[in-house]
Structure formats: C-alpha cells, structure tokens
Amino acid sequence: MDKPDVQQLEGMAKQIRRDIIRMLVESASGHPGGSLSAVEIVTALYFQEMRIDSANPRWPDRDRFILSKGHAAPVLFSALAERGYFPKEELLTFRKINSRLQGHPDMNKAPGVEMSTGSLGQGMSAAVGMALAGKLDKKDYRIFVLLGDGEVEEGQVWEAAMAAAQYKLDNITAFLDDNGLQIDGPCAEVMSAEPLDEKFKAFGWHVEKINGHSFPEIAEAIARAKKIKGKPTMIIAKTVKGKGVSYMENQVGWHGNAPSREQGEQALAELV
C-alpha cells in the first residue's frame, strides 16, 4: 500500500478508536483504557511501517507484531479488520461465544494474530524466538512487540530482554505503552519500574523516548531503530490511558470496564 500521510493516519486512528468503543459497548466487556492509549502506535505499524499482506497472513517474509499486553485486543482486532484481514462487521462479535475475536488474541482463530497473548510478560519471549528464527533463516523481516508499563513488572520481560541483547537481535523493535496506570492504580505506586530508559540501556538495548500519540515521532523512532546494528531497540512511548474519550482519559477505572450504550454514544460523539 502507498505510504499514508499524517492526516490519513490520524483519520485511521480516529476510526480505530470508534471501532474500539463500538466493540466494547456491544460486548459489555473488555479493556478500553490501554486499547485507546496504544492506537497511534498500532496504526503506525499496520498502516505505515509493517511489510504485511492481509490476503496472505502467513507470508513467510512478513513483519510480525506481537501484542504482549493482550488485554488490549480491541486495538489489534480493529487494525486487522481495517487492514482487511477479516470483515469489519465481525468486530461486533468481540468476546461472544464462538467468535474468532476473544477477549485476548488467539493465533489459532483470528487471521493476522501472530501470538496468543494475555498472560502478561510472555510477548517479549515470543519476540525473541521469532527474531532468532529470522536470523537463523537469514530473513530480513522485523519483529515489533508492544508491552504495557504495568506489564514490565513481570520478571520474564527482563529475562527476555537479556536474551535479546545477548543474541544481538537488532531485528526486534519493542514499544512500551507508558500510560502510567495499571488495573490497581498508578504504576509508580503499585510497583515502580523506573527509570525504564536506564534499565533497558543497562540490559543492552538501544532506547528511544517519544510522544506515543505523535505519528512523526513514532516514524522517526522506528527509522532510527532500523539503523541500529547489534542490539534491539525499546521505544518508550508516553501515552494517555483512555486517549480520545474525555471521561476515560487518565482514569484508572477505565482499565477494564466497558462503557454503557449511553457512555458509548458520548464517546462516539467526541470521536468525529
């Protein structure tokens, strides 16, 4: 596909936010806060950066995306539908019995899902395995992985981070959705992982810090990551939980609560 400009990407991001709200209202279940905070990152990857083909989801030379914070499945499912992996109407089956679109991504059901996720901390390990396979097969595809800031309290993240640096996996670009909130409250109060940039640097990673809602900053950080040789890249993206919906922004209560139909109508009215 042709490279879209920032205005086109912003339009797609708004559409994905509308999809997320509609999905959650219809299912009366799900995680809006962390889905909405990651919209620009996922949009940039699926509509600007990644080498993928919706008509051939298992194309061997495709780039791979792993949503390590699997509870944010609505943002991934919306991007996949908007990109043509399955009909958009299917989004309204989210979290329903026999749907391919369950509460967390299932690689055996939903086309385009690279890894079944939801048990926090495991996505980085999967990325390491895929990246190692790419190196062994002498392939030039890249692995993108999105983690939550609460998720990096999991020890497995850091074991995988060590492995990625040990094996010089410069084909991994990770994003950390740094919205500052997790289900139990502010990350700084629950279990602070700061300083995240210095920790990942100490673990042998190249680190970028950006505004996670700025398409130019996302694109520039990815471009720099692709030039880094011999080490993986972590892009720490400062974001707003519930971004785009006024009553959800920076409100921890919207981590895992779906809006009512009335609340959904208010959100959709804001996302025009």
Instruction: Spell out the domain ranges in the chain.
Output: 6-270
Tell me the mean pLDDT in the region 220-248: 98
Architecture per CATH, domain 6-270, reads as 3-Layer(aba) Sandwich (3.40)
> E strand or H helix at 174, and its extent?
strand 172-178
- Pick the closest to residue 196 from 184, 183, 209 (CA basis): 209
Do 105 and 37 touch, CB atoms closer than 8 A? no
Residue 224, pLDDT > 80, answer yes
Q: What average pLDDT does this structure show over 138-147?
A: 98
Average pLDDT over residues 239-261: 98
Stretch (H or E) spanning 191: helix 187-191
Residues in contact with 2: Cβ distance below 8 Å, sequence separation at least 6, in sequence order: none
Structure tokens that stand for 239 in this block: 């974001």
Q: Which residue has the tokens 């708004």?
A: 14
Residue 116: which of 128, 135, 103 has the closest Cα?
103
- Please give the Cα distance from 162 to 74 (Å, whole number): 30
Angle at alpha carbon of residue 110, lines to 184 and 215, rounded to 5°: 65
Beta carbons of 187 and 150 less than 8 angstroms apart = yes
- Report pTM: 0.97
What was the pLDDT predicted at 3?
Answer: 76
Residue 222's identity, in one-letter code, is I
4 pLDDT tier (thresholds 50, 70, 90): confident
pLDDT at 220 over 60: yes
Express each pLDDT in 177-203 by its tens digit. 999 999 999 999 999 999 999 999 999
Q: How far is CA 247 from CA 138, 169, 241, 254, 267, in A?
A: 48, 41, 11, 9, 8
- The Cα–Cα gap between 129 and 1 comes to 28
The three-state secondary structure class of 209 is strand
Which pLDDT belongs to residue 121?
A: 96
> Are 32 and 254 within 8 A, CB to CB?
yes
pLDDT digits (tens, 9 = 90+) for 201-212: 999 999 999 999
The dihedral over CA atoms of 267, 268, 270, 272, expressed in degrees to the nearest 10, equals: 160
Q: Which of 165, 152, 166 is nearest to 122 (CA)?
A: 152
Give dist(CA 238, CA 36) in Å, integer: 13
Whole-angstrom distance, CA of residue 267 vs CA of residue 176: 25
